[in-house]
């Protein structure tokens, strides 16, 4: 079930260059959300009609709070507008949306949580719910990292940076190889080239691979087909080999 709610912004801050967080007080959403789901965030500027999809970074069900972490994509964009919001402001949300990660696939297994860039935020709630059992491998551009403190509190954390200023120099797969890490199942979110490379790596290593996809979205609720991607199976809704990332996803088994 998803809701359209007016949420109250409780806290905002800048976590790294161009990366911001927002804690939101909601009525119903936080109580029902699961890791890997996202919310659609509406702009207060009437010229921006479409909401912006942002993953849930943390879910505080007890206190009805959600945390989102986002990158400002440029000047005069929706995310730039959000970065000026302050505690006490109201914001309109739709959510929770999408399917979330299949936590049951991790039971009794060795788990990798893999995040790249702005794909890192959903890994925080996942790490919390897996309760110290996962190995988290996070890829950043450089040592200006974010969410590494939270991840290291709830998982065993390894870091890769493109410029080698922290952890392994290179990407998340270089980091796995350098540290000789092993897993049975992996959950990943990040840029498409990283997800493609992880799919190939997981196949070779015999690891079950779940990826969270990012597609441009409009309605966010499965009605407009703006977000379809090709799949191996016929989709129940459209009867073709397509899946709606906002509805059937954003998390898919990589082989699908």
User: Where does this chain bind ligand FAD (CB under 6 A)?
Assistant: 38, 50, 52-55, 70-71, 73, 77-79, 118, 121, 214-217, 250
Nearest by Cα to 51 from 39, 42, 64, 61: 42
Rounded distance between C-alpha atoms, residue 109 and residue 88, angstroms? 42
Pick between residue 136 and residue 246 the one whose CB is nearest to ligand FES: 246
Considering CB distances under 5 to 8 angstroms, the limit depending on partner class, which of ligand FAD, ligand FES, none binds residue 189?
none
- Burial, 175: exposed, middle or buried (Cβ in 10 Å; 0-12, 13-18, 19+)? buried
Beta strands in the chain (DSSP E): 3-16, 19-25, 38-41, 52-55, 58-60, 65-71, 90-97, 111-116, 134-140, 156-161, 168-169, 185-189, 208-212, 228-230, 242-244, 251-253
Least distance in Å: CB of 58 to ligand FAD? 11
Nearest approach in angstroms of CB 64 to ligand FAD is: 20
147 Cβ neighbours under 8 A, 6+ residues apart: 15, 57, 69, 120, 121, 123, 124, 138
Phi (first) and psi of residue 59, to 5 degrees: -125, 115
Give me the 128-157 binding string for ligand FES, x by CB under 6 A, dash otherwise: ------------------------------
Which of residues 44 and 73 has its CB atom nearest to ligand FAD in the complex? Answer: 73
**Interface residue with ligand FES, options 35, 159, 244, 248 (CB under 6 A):** 244
Contact between 78 and ligand FES by CB under 6 A: the answer reads no
Contacts to ligand FES from residues 202-221, by CB under 6 A:
217-220
- Shortest gap between Cβ of 86 and ligand FAD (angstroms)? 18
226 touches ligand FES (CB under 6 A): yes
Which chain residues interact with ligand FES by CB under 6 A?
A: 217-220, 222-227, 244, 246
């Amino acid at each position: 079930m998803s809701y359209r709610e007016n949420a109250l912004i409780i806290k905002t801050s800048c976590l790294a260059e161009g990366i911001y967080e927002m804690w939101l007080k909601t009525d119903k959403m936080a109580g029902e959300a699961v890791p890997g789901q996202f919310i659609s965030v509406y702009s207060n500027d009437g010229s921006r009609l479409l909401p912006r999809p942002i993953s849930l970074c943390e879910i505080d069900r007890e206190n009805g709070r959600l945390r989102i972490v986002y990158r400002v994509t440029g000047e005069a964009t929706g995310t730039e507008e959000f970065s000026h919001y302050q505690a006490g402001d109201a914001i309109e949300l739709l959510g929770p949306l999408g399917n979330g990660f299949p936590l049951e696939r991790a039971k009794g297994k060795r788990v990798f949580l893999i995040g790249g860039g702005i794909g890192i935020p959903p890994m925080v709630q996942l790490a919390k719910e897996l309760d110290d059992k996962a190995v988290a491998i996070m890829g950043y551009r450089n040592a200006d990292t974010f969410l590494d403190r939270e991840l290291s509190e709830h998982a065993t954390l390894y870091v890769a940076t493109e410029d080698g200023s922290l952890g392994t120099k290179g990407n998340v797969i270089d980091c796995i190889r350098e540290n000789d890490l092993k897993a049975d199942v992996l959950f990943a979110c990040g840029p498409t080239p990283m997800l493609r490379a992880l799919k190939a790596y997981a196949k070779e290593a015999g690891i079950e691979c779940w990826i969270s996809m990012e597609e441009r979205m409009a309605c966010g609720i499965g009605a407009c087909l703006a977000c379809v991607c090709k799949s191996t199976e016929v989709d129940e809704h459209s009867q073709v080999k397509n899946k709606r990332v906002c509805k059937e996803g954003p998390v898919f088994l990589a082989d699908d």
